[in-house]
């Protein structure tokens, strides 16, 4: 219904370009925009934009790479602190009139496995290793200049094998894109490979985690907890009856706020509008194009 309303507004206002959020767009939007129009994603992840359909219609799809790296990385670290010090439950208890201090843990010296060593994963590693004294092990299937990112970001090691990456980890943080191939990347099998009593942190995309399998692992006592900012369905709805992550005290939940800072939003807005201005000027080579093959249609 929301996409249909947006499409109707585009047609009635003769709108040429549109800035979109994280919601999925499957049909009416692409029919409403005219050839050469821009679908500018207000953010980095673009799994909600159908690039093939846009290309077929001659539409330019863009995103805002780099604009939210610091904000997402900082919220990831924020969740690490919250997990280590029981911040959420302790604050809620005190507000309810309780005085029940719990022993926490230092992050210094703990091992953090960063799954996905793109810009955000590297920034998380830099803060965790250089700022907090954590041992950071990266996991990345793409070929990288390992020596360089070790030097610049403080990785102790970068490996391609998931099992090797998470060995001995107290925290495992996801920073890979949401693609058909990565759906439920963290499934029951991989959850079984994690060290006992480690924490899962996800500020990437909800589809990366099989939430039903995660619930079972948490209830079974295999994991210390999970800190999640993103979910398979947003607003959050349990993926299986009777398996509501909100009912588990060892789960920290935030409503997809990792990129929601004043600074990141200003950068994303500026970048999205820049892409539209470049499209109007025909400067396609300078745009953050997600479907560069569409240029051949002009």
Q: Which residues carry out catalysis?
A: 205, 234, 256
Rounded Cα gap, residues 14 and 169, in angstroms: 54
Q: Which two tokens stand for residue 56?
A: 């077929």
Nearest of 266, 196, 261, 183 to residue 224 by alpha carbon = 196
Is residue 1 within 8 Å of residue 23, measured between CB atoms? Answer: no
**What's the CA gap between 69 and 24, in Å, rounded?**
22
Nearest to 60 by CA among 282, 291, 296: 291
Beta bridge mates, 19: 40
Report the alpha-carbon distance of residue 125 to residue 4 in Å, rounded.
42
- For residue 24, is it left (φ>0), alpha (ψ between -120 and 50) or beta? beta
- Partner residues linked to 202 by β-bridges: 174, 228
SS3 137: strand
Q: How far apart are CA 120 and CA 265, in angstroms?
A: 16
Q: Which two tokens stand for residue 291?
A: 């479907």
- The tokens for 179 are 């693609």
SS3 165: helix
Task: Tell me the C-alpha distance between 50 and 189, whole Å.
Answer: 30
| Cβ-contact 31, 8 below 8 angstroms | no
Strand order in the sheet with 111-115: 155-159, 135-139, 111-115, 171-174, 199-202, 225-228, 251-253
What is the residue whose two structure tokens read 């249909």? 4
């Amino acid at each position: 219904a929301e996409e249909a309303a947006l499409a109707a507004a585009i047609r009635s206002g003769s709108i040429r370009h549109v800035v979109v959020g994280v919601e999925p767009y499957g049909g009416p939007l692409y029919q409403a925009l005219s050839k050469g129009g821009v679908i500018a994603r207000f953010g980095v992840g673009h799994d909600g934009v159908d690039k093939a359909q846009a290309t077929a219609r001659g539409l330019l799809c863009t995103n805002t790479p780099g604009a939210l790296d610091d904000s997402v990385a900082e919220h990831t670290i924020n969740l690490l602190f919250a997990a280590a010090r029981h911040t959420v439950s302790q604050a809620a208890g005190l507000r309810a009139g309780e005085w029940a201090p719990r022993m926490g843990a230092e992050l210094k010296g703990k091992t953090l496995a960063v799954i996905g060593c793109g810009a955000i994963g590297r920034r998380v590693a830099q803060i965790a290793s250089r700022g907090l004294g954590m041992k950071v092990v990266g996991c990345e299937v793409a070929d990288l200049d390992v020596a360089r990112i070790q030097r610049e970001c403080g990785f102790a090691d970068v490996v391609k094998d998931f099992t090797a990456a998470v060995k001995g980890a107290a925290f495992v943080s996801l920073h890979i894109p949401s693609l058909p191939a990565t759906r439920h990347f963290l499934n029951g099998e991989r959850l079984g490979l994690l060290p006992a009593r480690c924490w899962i942190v996800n500020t990437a995309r909800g589809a990366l985690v099989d939430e039903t399998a995660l619930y079972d692992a948490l209830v079974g006592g295999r994991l210390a907890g999970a800190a999640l900012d993103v979910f398979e369905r947003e607003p959050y709805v349990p993926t299986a009856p009777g398996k509501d992550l909100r009912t588990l005290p060892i789960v920290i939940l935030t409503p997809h706020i990792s990129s929601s800072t004043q600074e990141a939003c200003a950068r994303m807005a500026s970048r999205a509008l820049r892409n539209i201005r470049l499209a109007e000027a025909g400067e396609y080579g300078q745009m953050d194009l997600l479907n560069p093959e569409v240029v051949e249609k002009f």
